[in-house]
Amino acid sequence: MNNTVISGGGTFNARDAVLTVNGVTGLVIESGSTMETLSSSTQLTGTGPLTVNGTFKWNRGDIIGSAPFTVNGTLDINGISTRDLNGRTLTVNGLMKWSSDGVLRLLNNAQVLNQAGGTIDMQADGSIDFFAPGGGTVTNNGTFQKTGGAV
């Protein structure tokens, strides 16, 4: 997928696939559009950036690489499975809604950066695992709230 744009208001489902994202603009999910990962064997990898202006439903699977993963719209982390953020920096300018008890593992210096104006909303009892090698970091400059699950 080189310089690919998902638009048009529908949903693009990825199941049991390795999607290699390359190019200067990589993969862009436009406002009003949705991409959903449906299986634990789904991987988004490559050297291109991922930009979410619409909705990305990260139910399962891994996101791998060194290019930015930027959420200006909504990232919905759903499903009880473990998902890996491997090497990328996830920048939240919009909403990261965590609506399940699943695990987000950070590997190879992956980062979650919640910017001013961004919101991470923990709606359940999900957890972040700083996994070897390299683990990762979480930096909050926006709103980090827990609105559900055990307090």
pLDDT in tens, 57-75: 999 999 999 999 999 999 9
Within a domain: 39? yes
State which residues form the domain around 140.
2-146
DSSP string, 8-53: SS-EEEE-S-EEE-EEEEEEEE-TT-EEEE-STT-EEESSS-EEES
Whole-angstrom distance, CA of residue 149 vs CA of residue 151 = 6
Distances (CA, A) of 61 to 93, 150, 151: 22, 25, 27
Residue 86 in contact with residue 135, Cβ under 8 Å? Answer: no
Within a domain: 65? yes
Within a domain: 151? no
Record the tokens describing residue 81, joined without a space. 């499975």
Residue 67 in contact with residue 47, Cβ under 8 Å? Answer: yes
Q: What is the count of structural domains for the chain?
A: 1
Whole-angstrom distance, CA of residue 43 vs CA of residue 54 = 20
Within a domain: 72? yes
143-146 and 119-122: which strand pairing?
parallel
Going by pLDDT thresholds of 50, 70 and 90, the confidence category of residue 27 is very high
Among 113, 54, 56, 109, which Cα is nearest to 85's? Answer: 109
Residue 28 in contact with residue 49, Cβ under 8 Å? Answer: no
As a whole number, mean pLDDT of residues 9-28 equals: 92
pLDDT in tens, 91-128: 999 999 999 999 999 999 999 999 999 999 999 999 99
pLDDT surpasses 80 at 151: no
Within a domain: 16? yes
Whole-angstrom distance, CA of residue 119 vs CA of residue 122 = 10
Please name every residue paired with 107 in a beta bridge, in sequence order, or none if there are none: 86
